[in-house]
A and B are shown apart, each in its own frame.
Chain A
Amino acid sequence: EVQLVESGGGLVQPGGSLRLSCAASGFTFSNFPMTWVRQAPGKGLEWVSAIGATGSDTYYADSVKGRFTISRDNSKNTLCLQMNSLRADDTAVYYCAKVDGGHYVSGPMSSYYYYMDFWGKGTTVTVSS
């Protein structure tokens, strides 16, 4: 059974830092990309960041680029999100999710069929003075 358990959330002052972790089990962690998605109170889902299976490829939403760093330790089946220079609008529940699918190339185009097949229960980050 796939399990994803986030931790590390809490209350932090604006400008502060926090490191989120996601412990994965029930699948071969090193074979799959992973992603972080957040949800501000009463709002919709917002994609935050993703990392390839080996950790060499990383992607960020513009809203967090330069402030957040995603990483993974495949020997420990752990996904992390280092969050620096936190702002009030970073307040949200942060979910980690396993990514499946892939992409293929057809002529000059690439088509992506990624999807988030398993989600953790989330960890809450509150940025406030």
Chain B
Amino acid sequence: QSVLTQPPSVSAAPGQKVTISCSGSSSNIGNNYVSWYQQLPGTAPKLLIYENNKRPSGIPDRFSGSKSGTSATLDITGLQTGDEADYYCGTWDSSLSSWVFGGGTRLTVL
């Protein structure tokens, strides 16, 4: 059971938009910054979003993040088949003094 809750899977057609949610508590998302990671099949995770809504160099603006209260959201617009991957949210938990990840969301582009 992960400290952060994500939907196990989401799907949408190419060109459409998808939203992945990440729900936590005041000790993690509520008080700290969220990052998102993309893991393409058979590869290592890659940073997608940091500090709730910032994109590293090279990440297209089709990917965006936001946070409100104890929840965070990753939006992906203009879906491409190459976006099929597992997506994880993560943040520091101040009560646990540990990093916590969501359980991951598998994106299928139909």
Contact = CB atoms under 8 A, between A and B. Distances in A.
B104 interface: yes
Interface in A42-95: 44-47, 50, 59-62, 95
A111 B103 CA distance: 23
Contact of A114 (B39, B43, B46, B92): B92
Interface residues of A, number: 30
Interface residues of B, number: 29
Contacts of B101: 37, 44-47
Given A44-B2, A44-B103, A116 B90 contact: yes
A109 B44 contact: no
Given A44-B104, A119-B45, A112 B33 contact: yes
Contacts of A37: 45, 101
Contacts of B90: 45, 47, 115-116
- Majority secondary structure of chain B interface residues (helix, strand, loop or mixed): strand
Nearest to A97: B45
A103 B91 CA distance: 12
A129 interface: no
A98 to B, nearest CB: 10
Given A95-B44, A119-B44, A119-B45, A112 B94 contact: yes
Most central of A109, A112, A120, A122 by chain B CB within 10 Å: A112
Contact of A115 (B31, B33, B100): B33
Interface of A: 35, 37, 44-47, 50, 59-62, 95, 97, 100-101, 103, 109-122
